[in-house]
Amino acid sequence: MLGRIGFATVAMLGLAVPASAQDADIAAGKAYAEQVCAQCHAVQAGEDLSPAEGATPFQEVANTPGMTEYALSVWLQSSHPTMPNIVLEQDEMRNVIAYIRSLDSRL
Ligand code: HEC
């Protein structure tokens, strides 16, 4: 699990252009998550058990302090041994991030 320090480190490398929430399509992001991410992650609101061990449910991702759009875009643009390198188009990434952020139950 990449903690907050990990995210900060990756962010400092300046690898990512933050995906903007503007123009994001949350419904499309949800559909994308159901298609691509759901084989490992629990992607629905309120779901707390992921199909793949160690894959954080998206609701929990959304509720994690510091898991901003920026942190998510960094995560999705860097590679992880435990998660396949899924190459997302810019708009897919924006949408899926907007969907994850929309699950934040603190909002
Ligand atoms: C083949 C399984 C698999 C697929 C498909 C997958 N993931 Fe993951 N994902 C994982 C695993 C396992 C982790 C935990 C890895 C770690 O913390 O090192 C993870 C971690 C994450 C994290 C970090 C969560 C945290 O709290 O550390 C995010 C964000 C994430 N995935 C988003 C996505 C998105 C968005 C998609 C779809 C585009 C996706 N994942 C598809 C397996 C997968």
> Ligand 1: does its nearest atom lie under 6 Å from the Cβ of 86?
yes
Cα(41) to ligand 1 centroid in Å equals 7
Cα(83) to ligand 1 centroid in Å equals 6
> What pLDDT, on the 0 to 100 scale, is given for residue 23?
77
* 107: in domain: no
Per-residue pLDDT reduced to its tens digit, 33-68: 999 999 999 999 999 999 999 999 999 999 999 999
Contacts by residues 24-29 (CB-CB < 8 Å, ≥ 24 positions apart):
24/94, 24/95, 24/97, 24/98, 25/91, 25/95, 25/98, 26/95, 26/98, 26/99, 26/102, 28/92, 28/95, 29/92, 29/94, 29/95, 29/96, 29/97, 29/98, 29/99, 29/100
Model pTM?
Answer: 0.81
> What pLDDT, on the 0 to 100 scale, is given for residue 2?
52
Q: Rounded mean pLDDT of 66-86?
A: 88
Per-residue pLDDT reduced to its tens digit, 1-10: 555 555 544 4
* 67: in domain: yes
pLDDT of 89 over the 70 cut: yes
Q: Which domain holds residue 97?
A: 4-102
How many domains does the structure of the chain reveal? 1
> Ligand 1: does its nearest atom lie under 6 Å from the Cβ of 40?
yes
CATH of the domain at 38: 1.10.760.10
* 24: in domain: yes
